[in-house]
Structure 1
Amino acid sequence: MFFSAVRRAVASDILKSFKPLHDRVLIERVAAETKTKGGIMLPEKSQGKVLEATVVAVGPGLRNEKGELVPTTVRSGDRVLLPEYGGTKVVVEDREYSIFRESDLLGVFQ
């Protein structure tokens, strides 16, 4: 619970300095497991690519053919499933994030 409060505080600081445009979503990947359940340290090469992330900031959405704004469906704090490849890596306030189009996200964890 403490870490989620810290994550929300950090996310609010980032929102002050960066806002995605259109249907873009700023995400922070979940850290890869560095140990097995038995306590064995995993070498970096054997750690799988993490495809789960937390949404940090979202753009306002896209305009449809009629010019109406269609808002994004994901919200800050949502946990999402990412494609194996894609996204644009960015560094905001010394932290690494990725930007994806909302349509590139594979799903939202409940």
Structure 2
Amino acid sequence: MRANWDKPVTIEALAAAANTSVRSLFHSFRQARGISPMAFARRVRLTRARDMLAVPASGTTVTSVAFDCGFGNLGAFAPYYQTSLRRVAVRDVADGTKQSCRQQYR
């Protein structure tokens, strides 16, 4: 999942890749990691979003990062981001932009 964080993922595709049933995958994953496979995939994408917002490229917006990280519903992205990472995406991109400017003018 980490290697393909930017690709669409379904529980059925994960089960097929693991050569197991959806039920077995869900159960095994939850036992091993304490969360569902889809929650783990969301966490990987949110971490990637945080990294992209921390060091934004020119023209980076929260919206562009959300879409790049596979979140088609912006109304869901912000609460997921804030709940999972205990941060606010808009502040992260602003802080990242300030940091980039400081480094550029040193």
TM score, norm. by length of structure 1: 0.24
Name the one with the larger helix percent. 2
Name the one with the larger strand percent. 1
TM score, norm. by length of structure 2: 0.25
